[in-house]
Amino acid sequence: MRYLLGKIALFVVTLWAAVTINFLLPRMMPGSPADAAIAKLSQNGPVTPAMRAAVEAQLGVPHGSLIAQYGQYLGQIVRLDFGTSYSYFPQKVSALVSGALPWTLVLVGTVTVIAFIVGTALGALAAWKRGSWVDTFATAGSQFASAFPYFWTALLLLFFLGYVAGRFPTSGAYGDSSTPNLSAGFIGEAIAHAGLPALTILITSLGGWIIGMRNTMVNTLGEDYVTFAEANGLHPRTVALRYAARNAILPNLTSFGLVLGGVVGGSLLVETVFQYPGVGLLLFHAVTNQDYPLMQALFLMITVSVLIANFIVDVLYGVLDPRTRR
Amino acid sequence: MGTKTKARLFKAGVAVVTAAATIAVVSGCTVQTKASTSSESGSSASLLLGADNGTPTFTRNFNPFSPSTRVGTHYMYEPLQVVNSIDGKATPFLATGDTFRDPKTVDYTIRSGVKWSDGKPFTPADVLFTFDLIKKNPSLDTLGEWQHIDSISSSRNTVTFHLKGADVPAATVIDQQIIVPKHIWSSVKNPLTWTNDNPVVTGPYVLGKFAPNEYTLSKNKNYWQADKVAAKTLVLPASNTQVDIVHKGYDWAYSYISDVKGTFVAADKQHNTYWFPPGGTIALYPNLTKAPFNNLDFRRGLSYALDRDKIADDAEQGYVKAAGQTGLLLPNQNSWLNTSIPDKGAIAQDTKKALASFEKAGYTQKGGKLVDASGKQLSLTITSPNGYTDWLRGLQALQTQLKAIGIDVTLNQPQPAAYTQALNAGNFDLALGSYGGTGSTFQDFNNLLNSSFATPIGTATSANFERFKDTKTDQLLTQLKSATTTDAQKQIVDQLQQTVYDQLPAIGLFYGGLWGLFSTKDFTNWPSASNPYAPPSTWTETALLILTSIKAAS
């Protein structure tokens, strides 16, 4: 119980720190939202003084002292009201976030779970058959695949499968003339559009799980209790799965918890390459356009979910490993 | 025994993985057939337009006063007259013309017989209402109309603008005001945040189908010059990547594209063309409030040290030319050119002259380095926005050229917002920026030279970033405001060019291009160098000129 209370106190303090940094950081960046909007306009042509004045009048600058703004901000967080976006003016921040979140959760979430399951299974298999060609193939292959940067894999897939072979749609999350709904046709379209981004994330993230699982399991296989179980004539599959893999999976499970917490942040590079309307791309637009309200809402969402995931992993560890409880 | 079961486990594992992979591949193939290809332009009636980029999807906003309005808004609403930013010529739209009674008073004759897309008649009352609306809500006045206008009166179909002073160039600003319907907008509570989902307009197009990834505009059946509109439907997809532009068969797209001949043109040699006219001058702004940049000899030294052709080629792949030093955009404004300035204002690289000028400014070459009296090497910092890769390539060429005569050059590249802030507040030594390209010679020179913009360092300004101050130039600008004949205007513009050429308030490097890509497969008569009736820009009212000029290909 004292362990749990300690963890809760730590959670609250970290949360407060995160919320405060989230408030301060965007305000320390040079340039105002109006400057960002004008910089964007000036790429199209000269911005006249009148256009500048109008943009400044429309977007305004944050009012009041820093402390007053901070109080206002805390109040908004409690009410989950993040105001109006600057760059998507006059859209509400909450509407933008709830529009992008489902796409990211389904795409990145599903692929992360698949990558974890397949990767861990392959890792266990590689460790069990260490030295065989399965091991070589899985280890070398995954190291090769995960050494590629996300965007490079994404661009290769986009070019060859999307443009050259024409197998997959090349951008967006659904067809050009569709509006999101729950019909079978639309879901089919959405799955087809998720193909390339999903494949990219799978290829680049699978390797980590394989290597992680294989290395821990190779260690576990050398433990006395595994030798003892084998000496006792237990079924090899029982030894592999219930003795070795079960113990080896703990570190992988921890990182899985953390990765799941980060899923809400989306996958910025993949979403950018495929123009996938998820949180990552939204965050990118928010940052490049100095969109404080949108940026704060997104950063807050990401930090809070990572913190919650951390908290759950901490608590779970207390349950799984009695030594951490003291 | 152990090996046998191991083998079985392994086989099972392989089977599972293979099965999973197969399912992934098969499902990828089967669902693919459902992917739509609706954005391919097949029939000649529809025009695929690469103009509006979603972020990454479209939000529905057709409010012409909103900063994040959809680009298509500009193809639906009309201004009084459309000003071609290439040569400054005005084409009548909702007005049939304008005449100055005196330099302070201008009459606009409002076109009769025009109908709004909901069938209601368009009247001078709509014009009065619109100007009143932007007066009451200054944040809607994106053109700054009320900086020029004192009051407005009307009788029958004439609307008269009484200006604050002699201000002939104000007509260009009044021309471009978008007019909205009184019967709709008078009941709008907050005209800035209203998203105007179903716009009622006078222009050639009305909103067709709207979806987050693509919207269409349909030809307005009530349009007053419907016979001039060739495309029945405009299709605007949210994603217009460079690969899309090469592969998807756009009729009109606006995009900088590498190696245009090898990519876009090569995709359909018979039909794909491009036109990249200059849209502004990219120039080096010296901070005139600081030494040594306030020294004319120093600026001359810089100017002579540069090989502008090389800088232009490096920056824009040879798509645009080096800029002259007259302040004009050439060849767009050829008719305004001061013929007594040699070489149309082009300044050739001349190291000897450069070193002589630097010497007058107190810098001499020693051991390959340009040093000041105390022997310290001249070191310059140039501020330029991060991510503008073309500007950066130009700057790198410039850096090499200045290094060759012994000047150390550092590039400072803050994020665009921070760059804008630094430029506005005057917190720079040398900065790369752009000026001109409005089509109005008065506005171009006024923004570059008018001392009323030259605020003290630390206070933001919106023009004249180099902070040029000269009473004679200010007088010339005031005179230009009251000059009604082209001859009188030319005389003054000649003197302004001479000032820019002699004083070097900004050192012109190269022209920023407008990147128009066209296909003549379904539509012809696109603007071009030989027929520059409009710039290839997609996001301003000049697009109306193009949409009412193109013809269906036979």
Q: What number of CA atoms fall less than 13 Å from residue B76's CA on the CB side?
A: 28
The CA distance from B66 to B170, in Å, is: 23
CA triple B194-B198-B203, angle to 5 deg: 105
- Mean pLDDT for A33-49 is 70
Q: Which of B36, B49, B52 to mutate to test the interface with A (most CBs of A within 10 A)?
A: B36
0.95 exceeded by pTM: no
The CA distance from B290 to B278, in Å, is: 31
Q: B511: part of which helix (H) or strand (E)?
A: strand B507-513
Give the lowest-confidence range in A21-35, A102-116, B206-220.
A21-35
Nearest chain A Cα distance for residue B16, angstroms: 9
What sign does the CA torsion over B265, B268, B269, B274 have? negative
Nearest chain A Cα distance for residue B74, angstroms: 15
Considering its fold, how many domains does chain A have in total? Answer: 1
- Mean pLDDT for A275-296 is 85
Domain of A131: which CATH number?
Answer: 1.10.3720.10
Q: Sort strands B551-552 and B507-513 into parallel, antiparallel or unpaired.
A: unpaired
Q: Are A215 and A119 in contact (CB under 8 A)?
A: no
Q: Which of A96, A275, A282, A288 to mutate to test the interface with B (most CBs of B within 10 A)?
A: A275
Q: How confident is the model at residue A323 (pLDDT cuts 50, 70, 90)?
A: low
Interface ipTM: 0.75
The CA distance from B227 to B224, in Å, is: 8
Q: What residues of chain A lie within 8 A of the CB of B477, using their CB?
A: none
Tokens at B300, concatenated: 């001359």
Put simply, the answer to whether A163 touches B247 (Cβ < 8 Å) is: yes
Contact status of B277 with chain A (Cβ, < 8 Å): no
Please report whether residue A107 resides in a domain: yes
Q: Is the pLDDT score of B34 beyond 70?
A: no
Please report whether residue A307 resides in a domain: yes
Tokens at B106, concatenated: 């201008």
Residue B433, helix vs strand vs coil: strand
Q: What residues of chain B lie within 8 A of the CB of A59, using their CB?
A: 67
Contact status of B459 with chain A (Cβ, < 8 Å): no
Q: What is the predicted pLDDT for the residue at B44? A: 58
Q: Is the pLDDT score of A283 beyond 60?
A: yes
Q: What is the predicted pLDDT for the residue at B32? A: 28
Give the lowest-confidence range in A188-192, B36-40, B42-46.
B36-40
Q: What is the predicted pLDDT for the residue at A189? A: 86
Q: How confident is the model at residue A173 (pLDDT cuts 50, 70, 90)?
A: confident
- Mean pLDDT for B443-450 is 94
What sign does the CA torsion over B90, B91, B92, B94 have? negative
Q: What is the predicted pLDDT for the residue at B38? A: 39
pLDDT, chain A, mean = 83
pLDDT, chain B, mean = 89
Total length of chain A: 326
CA triple B253-B255-B258, angle to 5 deg: 125
Q: How confident is the model at residue A64 (pLDDT cuts 50, 70, 90)?
A: low
Put simply, the answer to whether B36 touches A176 (Cβ < 8 Å) is: yes
Give the lowest-confidence range in A157-171, B45-59, B214-228, B393-407.
A157-171
Percent of chain B with pLDDT over 90: 78
pLDDT in tens, B229-254: 999 999 999 988 888 898 889 999 99
Q: Sort strands B46-50 and B252-254 into parallel, antiparallel or unpaired.
A: parallel
- Nearest CB partner across the interface for A171, out of B241, B420, B443: B241
Q: What are phi and psi of B413, to 5 degrees?
A: -120, 80
Q: How confident is the model at residue B404 (pLDDT cuts 50, 70, 90)?
A: very high
CA torsion B414-B415-B417-B423 (nearest 10°) is 30
DSSP B107: E
Q: Which of B218, B240, B222 is nearest to B231 (CA)?
A: B218
Q: What residues of chain B lie within 8 A of the CB of A169, using their CB?
A: 32, 35
Please report whether residue A204 resides in a domain: yes
Q: Are B63 and B157 in contact (CB under 8 A)?
A: no
Please report whether residue A73 resides in a domain: no
Nearest chain A Cα distance for residue B406, angstroms: 33
Q: Which of B512, B134, B169 is nearest to B315 (CA)?
A: B512
Q: Which of A5, A13, A167, A145 is nearest to B35 (CA)?
A: A167
Structural domain of A144 = 93-325
**Amino acid type, B1:** M
The CA distance from B68 to B70, in Å, is: 6
Q: Are A126 and A210 in contact (CB under 8 A)?
A: yes
**Amino acid type, B334:** N
Put simply, the answer to whether A35 touches B385 (Cβ < 8 Å) is: no
In which residue are the tokens 């390959």 written? B368
Please report whether residue A67 resides in a domain: no
User: CA of A86: which chain B residue's CA is closest?
Assistant: B68
Question: 356-375 in B: which are within 8 Å (CB) of A?
Answer: none
Q: How confident is the model at residue A45 (pLDDT cuts 50, 70, 90)?
A: low
The CATH architecture assigned to B280-513 reads Roll (3.10)
Could you tell me how far CA A194 lies from the centroid of its own chain?
16
Tokens at B257, concatenated: 């594209």
- Mean pLDDT for B477-494 is 93
The CA distance from A147 to A130, in Å, is: 22
Q: What is the predicted pLDDT for the residue at B3? A: 40
Spell out the domain ranges in chain B. 280-513
